[in-house]
Amino acid sequence: MLCLSKFVTKKVVKMPQTEKIKYCLTFEKKGVAAYTSHLDVVRVFSRAFARSKLPIYYTEGFTRRPYLVFPYPLPLGVIGENEVLEFALLDEIRDVNDFMDKINAVLPNGLRVLCVTSDELPAVSFAVYEITCFTNNNTSEYERFFKQETIKAEKFSKKKGKIAIDLKPVIKENNVLSDGTITITLPVGENNNVNVNVFINALADFLGLKPEIFCAKRIKYLP
């Protein structure tokens, strides 16, 4: 008699998750972590939640992943002082400090959770950056750069490749401090985003310097 049991595929029944509870997390990205790509940062936080044994909510579908939303990815090499991340749990956070300790204990050097709230992701249109140069702090040259009628730059597009743009109309605000530090406000978001490295490349080209001698730090977001 032919046995069919070995040809029968067992049906895996997925147990439904309870309703997710969303939270907003603020973290910093400094030191060597600044040179960690955005995709690697996503993987690091996914593993951190898994290792911390917290009741993380997973997305539905064939490939289930921890529910993590990074609305404003940080460009490679840029320091982040107040980056935001939305995540979801299956249970309420009863002790915020204990929660942060569990996550920070499994995060690598340079990544650290600063606070956790139950607030929704903030509506953001701009980001403020602080830019310093390791070798050149000629404030008069910086001011001459900003006084140009057009600030020529090159921006990379996945569809069009490199395209020439004018940064002048998209710079909301800029300030050159006496110590040579530049603060600049640029658009950020899915529909209108200017990578601060595009600005640095334009500034370095104007000054005849290498972009690598500049350091950028995203310090806050604006509505």
122-166 residue pLDDT tens? 889 999 999 999 987 889 999 999 999 999 999 887 788 889 999
Torsions phi, psi of 153, nearest 5?
-150, 165
Domain boundaries, the chain: 21-117, 126-222
CATH code for the part of the protein at 21-117: 3.30.70.580
Better-predicted residue by pLDDT, 194 or 16: 194
Task: Decide: pTM greater than 0.85.
Answer: yes
Q: How confident is the model at residue 14 (pLDDT cuts 50, 70, 90)?
A: low
Angle of the 196-207 helix axis to the 139-146 helix axis, nearest 10: 110
Residue % of the chain over a pLDDT of 90: 78
Full DSSP string of 130-153: EEEESS---HHHHHHHHTSS--EE
Q: How far apart, in whole angstroms, are the C-alpha atoms of residue 170 and residue 56?
A: 39
Number of helices (H) and strands (E), helices first, in the chain? 4, 10
pLDDT for res 157: 79
pLDDT of residue 17: 63
Kindly report, residue by residue over 181-193, the tens digit of the pLDDT: 999 999 998 888 9
Q: Which run of H or of E encompasses 103?
A: helix 96-104
